[in-house]
Amino acid sequence: MENTFPAFAGRIVIIGFGSIGQGVLPLILRHLAVPSERIVIVTADERGHAVADAYGVRFVNDPLTPDNYRDRLAPLLGEGDFLLNLSVDVSSLALVELAWERGAFYLDTCIEPWAGGYTDPALTPSQRSNYALREAALALGRHGAGRPTALVTHGANPGLVSHLVKQALLDVARDTGVAAPVPAGRSEWADLARRLGIKAIHIAERDTQVAAGRPKAVGEFVNTWSVEGFVGEGLQPAELGWGTHERHWPDDARRHETGRDCAIYLMRPGAATQVRSWAPAAGPFHGFLITHSEAISIADYFTVAEGGRAAYRPTVHYAYHPCDDAVLSLHELAGGGWRMQPEMRLMGAEITAGVDELGVLLMGHVKGAYWYGSQLSIAEARRLAPHNNATALQVTATVLAGMAWVLENPRRGLVEPDEMNYRRILDLCRPYLGRLVGAYTDWTPLAGRGALFPEDVDRDDPWQFKNFRVM
């Protein structure tokens, strides 16, 4: 059957046990036929200890550092085991190398540096970027041919959204009469995007989950998923894949001096940069241009090169409106000079209503814009899986699907989501994503602009980044 999961005979080591670790554990036990005694959790604090105990899973509170991670993890990993990295502040590349040395599989949801790597003042903005982290991973991957599969950046976003883009392209091709068999590889996917006229792709997400009766307090950062993870990426420079149709260079933009030159960064944090976007239930909204590796990998994957230069590439970036309490938390964080609040709260049982609407918005084709993605409510998330809210389940379902794909493709070395079979992942994730929705819209970032105040916009091409950016 399409949604059948492979059984797994090895051990699983889970690094980090925050919202995603706690949410994916019951899914692993449900679908991969792994007994609890073959799972161990290694984490940096006591969060989730009771959850681990309830499932009979060994829980080790022992923070990993550059000095101790090999000694702590090597005895737990052997040939055919699985290292599942759901942590913050632990180097993904160090863990990939260790997994390969031990003959183990690997998966993470983002490429993490060691603690402090996102905010080290000794590093340039380019060196603190997801672009730099990805380039380092790709360099490592060039030495990984034939090794156990190490799947990097495979959560909801990055991860699931790369598969949604491919399905959305096929939908647009079908609905606009463009003859398009399912592409067989990277060059064919990029050619299809060019033929359709895709100029910009947003990972467009609006989270409306609320906790009635417990509003955000002063001095508290509240979120529906990892607070540390969100703040870390929010303090990195805003990053976006830079399209070949763009004709307005942002004053605060910079190019990277090395690598594939498929993306740029801004000299400001993503948590202080907003863009206009759209989703079916939310309608038009302002989202934060938080850096994510999918903005870089998708732009790179869909590049058409001719004569040694990019002849076609879409502009790609995240447009994220988190839950309202998280927005207030970001405003307070910025007002305090980007110093973290003394208290953190991960919204869980107190959530009473709301939906996480996560999808991809493809713009520039003859029908204007098309959004395709998941609309998952908190009520349905709780019905489908324990220890998950709507945001977490979109991630944990994709982690689970990624683990299955790794087991089915065991010797692929280092892999990014864009290189995978999108149908297989969507088939495995679909039961946990709520409603998968495709919607066309005539919205553009110029809608309603200039009625009260004149603005410097490009009215000849609505899909210019200049028009999306909120100044």
Closest of 428, 133, 144, 143 to residue 296, by C-alpha: 133
Q: What is the predicted pLDDT for the residue at 471? A: 75
Q: What percent of the chain has pLDDT over 90?
A: 96
pLDDT in tens, 272-300: 999 999 999 999 999 999 999 999 999 99
- Extract the tokens encoding 414: 């280092």
**CATH 3.40.50.300 holds for 12-151:** no
Contact status, residue 106 vs residue 268, Cβ threshold 8 Å? no
Domain edges within the chain = 12-151, 160-394+422-470
Domain boundaries 160-394+422-470, corresponding CATH code = 3.30.360.30
Q: What is the predicted pLDDT for the residue at 1? A: 39
The kind and range of the H/E element at 135 are helix 130-141
pLDDT in tens, 103-114: 999 999 999 999
pLDDT in tens, 112-138: 999 999 989 999 999 999 999 999 999
Q: What is the predicted pLDDT for the residue at 2? A: 60
Mean pLDDT, the chain, whole residue set: 97
pLDDT in tens, 368-394: 999 999 999 999 999 999 999 999 999
Q: What is the predicted pLDDT for the residue at 280? A: 98
Q: How many Cβ atoms sit within 10 Å of the Cβ of residue 290? A: 27
Give this prediction's pTM.
Answer: 0.98
Q: How many Cβ atoms sit within 10 Å of the Cβ of residue 231? A: 22
Alpha-carbon span 436 to 42, nearest angstrom: 34
User: Looking at residues 59-66, what average pLDDT do you find?
Assistant: 98
pLDDT in tens, 227-262: 999 999 999 999 999 999 999 999 999 999 999 999
